[in-house]
Amino acid sequence: MELNWQGETLHCTDEGTADDAVLFLHGLGGNANNWLHQRRAFAQHHRVITVDLPGHGRSTGTGIPFAQYADAAGAVLDHLRIDAVSVVGLAMGARVGIALAARSPHRVRRLTVVNGCLELPPREHERRVALYDLLLRPGGVREWAQALLEGMGVSGHAGIARGFLTSADRIDPAHVNAVFHQVDALDQVEEFRALVVPVQLIVGERDHLVPTSSTDQLIALAGDARISRFSGTGHLPYLEDPAAFNRALEDFLHGQAASADGVSRDTALR
């Protein structure tokens, strides 16, 4: 499906017929097809929405600033006449979900943050900037992609690595670099701290892109969020172990956000 928004074309998918809608938001440089395992599984019992965010996948809009991505997601929900939705976002997609939940708490039922990060310690920040600035060098896209695979902890997954490298050949490197810097500059700490919706944090413990200190900050800010740790996965648990990921997400969507005594649940998944 597609819709016109601010003179651009946004592509999205709408699968399943249940009233309980779930919106999946991809990470930087990704697209709606990243969620194929979840689309197939969750469409059986939910209405499943995915979107190619501006300038990603088949959507146009490389000139749309990151600060407006939540508006784009909201426009998709308006187009599909969806009043309320649970949101699942990876990394950059999680930042979009945070903005949507902060600005429209009546519209977001629950928020799942997959390997999210609001701030990086200085040395890690410098490394991340250098990594994404590779995209501006001649031949730097392949070097960036290889380094990112290592950082995500998924280079040992042959299928994921092949798919990622193929996708990397199709990105607009200048656009991905520009959006990285926009996301990096956007301070969402207070937005996240003030969220009133139930939150789930999914952490792949082999993910080297998100340092432990940044994960700890997110956990501290999230209050009574459900924390689901995947000891055997990296940055992409929904691809590395989709069955376990889907179970953890389904539990949360069914209201298992906290234990009976109100203390956040920290579960280890293998």
* pLDDT, mean of residues 251-256: 85
Q: Is 2 helix (H, G, I), strand (E, B) or coil?
A: strand
pLDDT of 270 over the 60 cut: no
* pLDDT, mean of residues 74-81: 97
Q: What pTM does this model have?
A: 0.94
Write the CA distances from 74 to 49, 50, 85, 97, 216, integer angstroms.
12, 12, 10, 10, 29
Under a CB-based contact definition with an 8 Å cutoff, are residues 240 and 158 in contact? no
- The per-residue pLDDT for range 194-219, each reduced to its tens digit, is 999 999 999 999 999 999 999 999 99
pLDDT band at 258 (very low <50, low <70, confident <90, very high): very low
pLDDT band at 261 (very low <50, low <70, confident <90, very high): very low
Write the CA distances from 150 to 23, 157, 167, integer angstroms.
28, 11, 16
- Beta sheet of 199-204, edge-to-edge order: 2-5, 8-15, 47-51, 21-25, 85-90, 108-114, 199-204, 226-230, 266-269
Higher pLDDT residue, 49 or 257? 49
Q: Would you state the pLDDT for residue 19? A: 84
pLDDT band at 47 (very low <50, low <70, confident <90, very high): very high
Please give the mean pLDDT across all residues of the chain: 93
Structure tokens at 241: 């172990």
Q: Which of 213, 195, 8, 199 is nearest to 121 (CA)?
A: 213
Q: Would you state the pLDDT for residue 262? A: 31
Size (the chain), residues: 270
Q: Would you state the pLDDT for residue 263? A: 30
Find the range with the poorest average confidence among 42-46, 81-85, 261-265. 261-265
Find the range with the poorest average confidence among 2-11, 53-62, 152-161, 247-256. 247-256
End-to-end CA distance of the chain: 36
pLDDT of 256 over the 60 cut: no
Q: Would you state the pLDDT for residue 69? A: 98
Q: Would you state the pLDDT for residue 93? A: 98
- The per-residue pLDDT for range 115-152, each reduced to its tens digit, is 999 999 999 999 999 999 999 999 999 999 999 999 99
